[in-house]
Chain A
Amino acid sequence: AQSVAQPEDQVNVAEGNPLTVKCTYSVSGNPYLFWYVQYPNRGLQFLLKYITGDNLVKGSYGFEAEFNKSQTSFHLKKPSALVSDSALYFCAAIPSNDYKLSFGAGTTVTVRA
């Protein structure tokens, strides 16, 4: 079965510290991988995606994610977190032989001042 796992329900960091949100996937073939962010009482917004090419993908708001095929991971990172980064983050994947996007369960990020 295809799946996307976000092993941490919550991540808490101090402002200015590095932020990492973990994601691993179990999908067939070479998946397309995405990160979305949901701010309180808002819809989800696209952050970044990986399809092919450079394993380090840069996205919106200073976020980046690294694709690691051997570890089947696609962790989201930001070198210096801001309080405004506090939100719910979703990892998602589309298998190469399918068109259906699967979401992880989400990770709540809290950045304290």
Chain B
Amino acid sequence: DTAVSQTPKYLVTQMGNDKSIKCEQNLGHDTMYWYKQDSKKFLKIMFSYNNKELIINETVPNRFSPKSPDKAHLNLHINSLELGDSAVYFCASESVEEKLFFGSGTQLSVL
């Protein structure tokens, strides 16, 4: 069983569209994250939720809205997509030992 799964793996869309990326973890962790990896492979934290509550919100445009319906899920909704949003987005969950388990990533291409 995949510990952290995110869908879709690839997402190609037009500028201005609204899209969502889903993430689920079956590890029983309380804390989940969204990271953005840019074209230079630089990893930047976007959001963190602990047991459905937002605890980290980095300087991300408010077009990005995370949603955590329960502690096993952390979805990312993006409104009015822009060219600069093209990147790989990684979901992760965190163990009590602060070890991160990452999903395989969603490559978003905005045309």
By a beta-carbon cutoff of 8 Å, the part of chain A in contact with chain B is: 32, 34, 36, 38, 41-46, 49, 88, 90, 94, 99-101, 103, 105-106, 108
**Is B45's CB under 8 angstroms from A100's CB?**
yes
Taking CB atoms, residues of chain B closer than 8 Å to A46 are: 99-101
Q: Which one of B4, B40, B43, B90 has the greatest number of beta carbons of chain A within 10 Å? A: B43
Q: Which 8 A-B pairs have the closest CB atoms?
A: A43-B102, A103-B43, A44-B102, A43-B104, A106-B41, A46-B99, A43-B105, A43-B103
Identify the closest chain A residue to B90 (Cβ).
A43
Taking CB atoms, residues of chain A closer than 8 Å to B55 are: 99
Q: Looking at the complex, which one of A43, A45, A106 makes contact with B42 (CB distance below 8 Å)?
A: A106
**Is A88's CB under 8 angstroms from B41's CB?**
yes
Identify the closest chain A residue to B33 (Cβ).
A101
Taking CB atoms, residues of chain A closer than 8 Å to B101 are: 46
CB distance from A25 to the nearest CB of B (A): 15
Q: Tell me if B's interface is mostly helix, strand, loop or mixed.
A: strand
Q: Tell me if A's interface is mostly helix, strand, loop or mixed.
A: strand
**Is A101's CB under 8 angstroms from B100's CB?**
yes
> B56 at the A/B interface (Cβ < 8 Å)?
yes
Q: Looking at the complex, which one of B98, B102, B105 makes contact with A45 (CB distance below 8 Å)?
A: B102
Identify the closest chain A residue to B55 (Cβ).
A99
Taking CB atoms, residues of chain B closer than 8 Å to A32 are: 98
**Is B98's CB under 8 angstroms from A105's CB?**
no
**Is A94's CB under 8 angstroms from B98's CB?**
yes
Further pairs besides A43-B104, A88-B41: 4, Cβ < 8 Å: A38-B41, A44-B102, A46-B99, A101-B98
**Is B56's CB under 8 angstroms from A44's CB?**
no
Q: Which one of B40, B41, B56, B92 has the greatest number of beta carbons of chain A within 10 Å? A: B41
Identify the closest chain B residue to A45 (Cβ).
B102
- Separation of A103 and B55 alpha carbons in the complex (Å): 18
- Separation of A46 and B94 alpha carbons in the complex (Å): 11
CB distance from B45 to the nearest CB of A (A): 7
